[in-house]
Amino acid sequence: MRIAFFATCLADTLFPEAAKATVRLLERLGHEVVFPPQQTCCGQMHINTGYQKEALPLIKRYAKTFDPYDVIVVPSGSCAGSIRHQHAMVASAHGEPGPAARSESVAARTYELSELLIDVLQVEDVGAYYPHRVTYHPTCHSLRMTRVGDKPLRLLRQVRGIDLVELPAAEQCCGFGGTFAIKNAETSTAMLADKMTSIVSTGADVCTAGDTSCLMHIGGGLSRLRAGVRTVHLAEILASTEYS
């Protein structure tokens, strides 16, 4: 299958390993990945910070860039959620019915990584090997906006060598929340402290999730504490094999 890849601005700029892993994984499964270079950012930061007018060109850019493709994958539950639940809404709220319709059509072809694998490609065992103790944090937007359910866990359970341990209070927000992490830094950090306590209590050496944004926040906290736990994007685990 020919799959268009939306890397997300954050993975493209700061976490290229997560983006490269997505490409490696899909190619290993026998699919063709294309990266339309006109892509930049989904605009969620602008929408959620109260700058819908500024987000509008980014919303249109996403729709225009990916309209030619039948299947689009995003290694982020949060960006997928914004594309599906905010793009058309913001465009129509700003009196742009044409772009809103196009956004809706492209959004319907946009899948978060675990959704693409399980719902579209119908594969649960991606042939991965990852011999580490891992705990999975279900990010809020993947859970309550994109509604990926237990798909990431179903994929992780099939990984060979993995020691998958359950995260206590897993569904509680880590405290990232985009610009919330800066505008309400103290509250965000208090939420993070509890999330880190839960992660450390599992004895895992890797915390994984489907969003680089939440992982940047959790990883930044764990690094500051020298907690000895790494954060790794779901795609990187699924892309790992005995040979790589």
Partner 1 sequence: MSTFLGMPVTAPRGVGHLRGDQSFPDAAREALGNAQLRRNLRHATTTIRGKSGRVIAELPDWQELRDAGSAIKADAMARLPELLEQLETRVAEAGGVVHWAADANEANAIVTDLVRRTGSDRVIKVKSMATQEIGLNEALEAAGITPVETDLAELIVQLGDDKPSHILVPAIHRNRSEIREIFLRAMPGVDPALTDDPPVLAAAARRYLRETFLSTKVAVSGANFAIADTGTLGVVESEGNGRMCLTLPDTLITVMGIEKVLPTWQDLEVFLQLLPRASTGERMNPYTTMWTGVTPGDGPQNFHLVLLDNGRSAVLSDPAGRSALHCIRCSACLNVCPVYERTGGHSYGSVYPGPIGAVLSPQLTGVADNASLPYASSLCGACFDACPVKIDIPSMLVHLRNKVPHGRAERAAMAAAAYTMDRPKLYASAQRAAKLARILGRRGRGLPPPLSGWTAGRDLPEFPKQTFRDWWAQREQP
CB of 153 to partner 1, least distance (A): 19
CB of 209 to partner 1, least distance (A): 14
Quick one: 1 or 182, whose CB is closer to partner 1? 182
Q: Are 52 and 94 in contact (CB under 8 A)?
A: yes
Residue 146 Cβ vs partner 1, minimum distance, rounded to whole Å? 10
The residue ranges that bind partner 1 (CB under 8 A) are 7, 9, 11-17, 19-20, 23, 35, 37-41, 43, 45-52, 54-55, 57-58, 61, 85-86, 89, 93, 140-141, 143-145, 171-173, 175-192, 216-217, 219-221, 223-224
The Cα 30–Cα 57 span in angstroms is 34
DSSP string for residues in 102-131? HHHHHHTTEEEHHHIIIIIS--S----B--
Contact 175, 195 (CB under 8 A): yes
Q: Report the alpha-carbon distance of residue 17 to residue 20 in Å, rounded.
A: 5
Give the residue carrying structure tokens 């899948």. 111
Contacting residues for 77 by C-beta, under 8 A, at least 6 apart: 112, 139, 141, 142, 143, 145, 146, 148, 210, 211
Contact 74, 141 (CB under 8 A): no
What is the nearest approach in angstroms of partner 1 to the Cβ of residue 70?
21
Chain centroid to Cα 149, Å, comes to: 14
**Closest approach of partner 1 to the CB of residue 211, in Å:** 12
Other beta carbons less than 10 A from residue 198's beta carbon: 17
Minimum gap (Å) between residue 132 Cβ and partner 1: 20
Closer to partner 1 by CB, 1 or 14: give it: 14
